[in-house]
Chain A
């Protein structure tokens, strides 16, 4: 303890590491750092999880099928494999979608080839072809995508040639595959990359229709959990900004196919989608900006970024007008809640961007972030993209395809001249940049990658946060210890939390969580009485 009674972070860390076998401690120690926002501290991330250590992480298939492709409503997502994987990714993430009255929507469905013994022994390509044919015959979808599970890669089923064959056969249905076997990479992050590659190869740029609008953007890395995308869509509409495509919350095949006609890519979740943005810039000349619509202040900041990109007085005026109006409402609501949340503490261990973005909302509530970390992020998400050249490519990253992208001679269009870009940069607009989480966190706070159960238990015991944010896998274990856990993947079935209205929803939600009286009931009254009576008996 230091003289203020706060446990010293270095001692907490030593205690945690001391319980690991030496080899494990050596490895984990590099993934648990005590922050210094000014000095650039290196954190170990995107490395293999140690077998037997309970992790938050999922697999490549989960990242590809569940996260990136899952929220698109009109693709028939067919899992090629035994039944488990398909079943567990069926309605498991809380993506919402609005297909309209007659729109196609396959999200409540789980399509699987449900492979049996004989398919493993003799191969599953025939079954796969027939399954694709049946799905086509029943639904006549615009697109069918195939996701490989672990055994498929091992028995050598060639899903990509099956896809080509079926696509040619149908003529009016795009068929493509994802080699996202669960053993690829170290986490779901590998699956994001695989998904990005195939979306780019098979969908982006297929349809040149320009639906008009002066300010045309794509929103990347927004997955419409709890209806976030609905709020953001409305916000852009109110501002006269045309949202061409969202990758991939509330999205459709057509949106992806036309996404190359936008003039700016705005990235929310950098980890899961930056590859598409990079490739679109290369091929079509669309620049990208990092934005964050989680938090009222961050929303205002991100809108200003977009407005300054388009250099249009009317748009800037509209943005400022909206910020003024909305912030007045937000502040009014916050005023009432703030005294109850001020100085409370939080920890966030989730995802590849949420652990960073949600810090802004907690700060608006006057709360302090004691510790944060990602499940599946890379060093650039912690330390900023400037470390990209120094990241070693290991075997687990090498086996994920890097697509070579070249300028499209017909469709490439320069959105900004070098002079215009330089001028915007001189005004503070940073293209292709993400500063990462650590620079915005307090000195001496903990930054931990791929936190294990043991580490979170110890942090809770020693730092006693008022709220812990993670996922459902951590929820009940943390709550057994009397600390409320807020699920950041599913928003604990609340939300939306994006934009100005979302921020207010979040303030109310967190107020309820950190000020609930339920934990006070944990101790039964007779427990106390029992000890009194016991001592009385002893005394007599």
Chain B
């Protein structure tokens, strides 16, 4: 059963969407020696920092052009230029990422012109690269901002180059631990790659001996400029709109094939990645990864008795929902409700296909839903598990259903940055979490008071 909002609802209650500049901020965090500035009221930067810091438990500096009322009337050019000056003097970054806000977009601030003026006015200075991404909150959500920013980076930094034996991977919004896992997989293939945006260190680093104004790590300008020399691109999104896809842009401009893959959660999605990597690198899957796969299959069969037939509600951004539904089906659980705040119609055939393959009824596919809509759907359903962000806690508590937290934000559990869910290894760790949750429930509910296995 496919559901978009049946009756157009004007009030959004407990949204599933965060705003576009948040996605842009996460993406800019994955660029080496980069400072982001949000062009708008300082509240935008403060709120987004607060949400990211609480999730990653790491410092997140994001500047603001700090609009006041007169700025809103006369435009934010001077404030932006001032802001850039002050960022340069304090941080000396190689890249300044500017994301616009609903305020600057509503007044129609011509930020490209400001940047040109700024660069003209300060020719004597050795200026950092300035990347602009247009992210009004009233258009799309955090996924939009995340991919738009990646696209802005390659649009700005890439030029025609000789192709080399190398591929580029554009990641989705995954955890720093997931990024490390992905890099390990790539390294196992022993082939040159560029991963962007790499926030595995910048948003999950160690303690500092010396104070770092900008945390170490990230994809460098040099790497991004070499993206156009890649033989192939992998883009970890199957829901993405071509207009904001960095891979599609590179295909159109430099004729680099773009392989769009799901976030590799579960055997099939990870197999798709391995197959792609085998083709790109012209090698066979390394033994360590093959062993991981064998161990995962083994775990699937061991886990079966605990979780088979359990009914699951999945809440997340489009790509995450697809990959989780695919994984959930593989292990014999049933995704009863698949819901997202986005409007990805591509999900409908994809999720239908999974259901047909595993012989269960097509799940309720809920697009453009908020948490309140989802809660109403769940009320009439016999669900065993909810998978979603911390924002699904209210419904989980009310409906007395267990919640596994994946996605953004995870504020009420420890270790969001270390959450591993991708690749064979990550899938196994996610499987363990789910199985243990059901064993725990079984133990808690056992009338005898004690069960061991």
Residues of A within 8 A of B (CB): 19-21, 24, 48-62, 78, 81-90, 92, 108-117, 119-120, 127-128, 130-132, 134-135, 138, 149-151, 153-155, 181-188, 395-396, 399, 453-454, 457, 461, 472-473, 475-477, 479-482, 522
Contact = CB atoms under 8 A, between A and B. Distances in A.
Contacts of A480: 59, 205, 207-208, 211-212
B115 interface: no
Nearest to A182: B41
| Residue among B10, B18, B60 with most chain A CB within 10 A | B10
11 contacts: A58-B46, A60-B41, A83-B15, A85-B137, A111-B13, A112-B11, A134-B11, A149-B102, A150-B41, A151-B138, A183-B41
Contacts of A84: 18-22, 44, 47-48, 102, 137
Given A59-B41, A88-B50, A183-B69, A154 B107 contact: yes
A52 B10 contact: no
Interface stretch (B81-89, B253-261, B271-279): B81-89
A89 B18 contact: no
A396 B68 CA distance: 8
Contact of A59 (B12, B46, B60): B46
A115 B138 contact: yes
B54 interface: yes
Given A62-B47, A88-B50, A183 B103 contact: yes
A477 B59 contact: yes
Given A52-B90, A53-B86, A119-B138, A87 B19 contact: yes
Nearest to A184: B69
Closest 9 A/B residue pairs (Cβ): A59-B43, A84-B19, A52-B86, A182-B41, A51-B83, A52-B83, A82-B137, A477-B59, A88-B47
Nearest to A58: B46
B242 to A, nearest CB: 19
Given A84-B19, A116-B139, A183 B68 contact: yes
Contacts of A131: 10-11
Interface residues of B, number: 71
Interface in B25-71: 37, 40-44, 46-51, 53-54, 57-71
Q: By CB atoms of chain A within 10 A, which of B22, B69, B372 has the most? A: B69
Contacts of A56: 46
Contacts of B67: 150, 182-183
B313 interface: no
B178 to A, nearest CB: 20
A62 to B, nearest CB: 5
B57 A396 contact: no
A51 B50 contact: no
B13 A52 contact: no
Nearest to B397: A108
Most buried by A among B37, B57, B59: B59
A53 B90 contact: yes
Contacts of A477: 59, 61
B187 interface: no
Contact of B102 (A51, A120, A476): A120
B17 A87 contact: yes
A58 B42 contact: yes
Contacts of B394: 108-109
A473 B49 contact: yes
B82 A52 contact: yes
Nearest to A61: B43
A100 to B, nearest CB: 17
A128 B12 CA distance: 11
Contact of A90 (B14, B80, B107, B141): B14
Given A49-B66, A480-B207, A62 B59 contact: no
A135 B10 CA distance: 9
Nearest to B107: A154
Contact of A48 (B68, B80, B212, B372): B68
B59 A134 contact: no
A454 B90 contact: yes
A109 B72 CA distance: 30
A21 B18 contact: no
B391 interface: yes
Interface in B193-219: 205, 207-208, 211-212
